[in-house]
Amino acid sequence: MSRNFILAFFLGVSLFGLSVVVTLALYPPPVLENFPLRKPLVGSIFGLICVFGMLAVIFPGSCSRIIGFKGEKQQAPHVFYTAGNSKGKKLTLRGHHPMCKNFSAHVIQTGGKTFCAGCSGLFLGGLAASVGTLLYFFGNLHIGQNSLLLLWIGVTGVVLGLLQFPLFNIPWSSVRWFLNAFFAFGAFLVLVGTDGITQSIFVDLFLVVLIIFWIFTRVLLPQWGHERICRLCKVRKCEFRGF
């Protein structure tokens, strides 16, 4: 119950904060400040967020501990026992997910290797967001009247990325990959669209803090989803079920 409350709190605050950002964009406050370093400062902070996020994907050991599974190299294959079967069957981790049919939609296979669909999508979205950050905050990319359109596209990506776990049981790894890429790039679009409309350093910094909160929420939600999968599993004994 306490964990469900925490997840509900994070998700509720994330969606409420997003609604506040949309309200500020639809009814922008008057631009009173004249801060010439607004775009470089906000772009640098958001760029660092993208870089740290991509590093977390490249080094998945930390990600595995966060979502509740130990890293593959830190443990020997586990043994689980099916109902009515006294023989053990070894399970290993691939893409920091157990090689179990219940998690088949959470991984993608390419080039003979297995990757986490969610993390792969987040990496691609973060990479696209990094390129966009360089073009918009440090380059000469102007979005003009497209600010509101980019904002709504970004809002769609963030909402779908956050609600994919509690509301949708997605059976296709390609869809999970896309939603997570859309989530990461959507956060960038929300930031760019809001900046283009409000041109306020205070609104931008508020949104950057909110994006960090979205990331923490996105990290917590898979843990809840994985536990739900294991809780519904019919396997009598499995070391991956630590609850």
Cβ atoms 117, 173 nearer than 8 A:
yes
Helix (H) or strand (E) run with residue 80 in it: strand 78-80
**Residue 117 to residue 123: CA distance in whole angstroms:** 10
pLDDT digit string (tens) for 18-51? 999 999 999 988 766 678 889 999 999 999 999 9
- pLDDT of 151 reads 96
Q: Of 123, 131, 143, 136, whose CA–CA distance to 184 is shortest?
A: 123
Q: Of 95, 118, 148, 139, whose CA–CA distance to 215 is shortest?
A: 118
**Residue 64 to residue 190: CA distance in whole angstroms:** 28
What tokens does 136 get?
Answer: 């918009």
**Residue 91 to residue 239: CA distance in whole angstroms:** 9
Cβ atoms 162, 11 nearer than 8 A:
yes
Query: At a CB cut-off of 8 Å and minimum separation 6, what does 165 contact?
Result: 221, 222, 224, 225
pLDDT digit string (tens) for 94-125? 656 666 666 666 777 777 677 778 888 889 99
Helix (H) or strand (E) run with residue 151 in it: helix 147-163
pLDDT digit string (tens) for 168-212? 666 677 888 899 999 999 999 999 999 999 988 999 999 999 999
- pLDDT of 119 reads 83
Instruction: For residue 107, give the 3-state DSSP assignment.
Output: strand
| Portion of the chain with pLDDT greater than 70, in percent | 66
- pLDDT of 174 reads 81
Q: Is the pLDDT of residue 67 over 80?
A: no
- pLDDT of 172 reads 75
Query: At a CB cut-off of 8 Å and minimum separation 6, what does 180 contact?
Result: 117, 118, 119, 120, 121, 122, 125, 161, 164
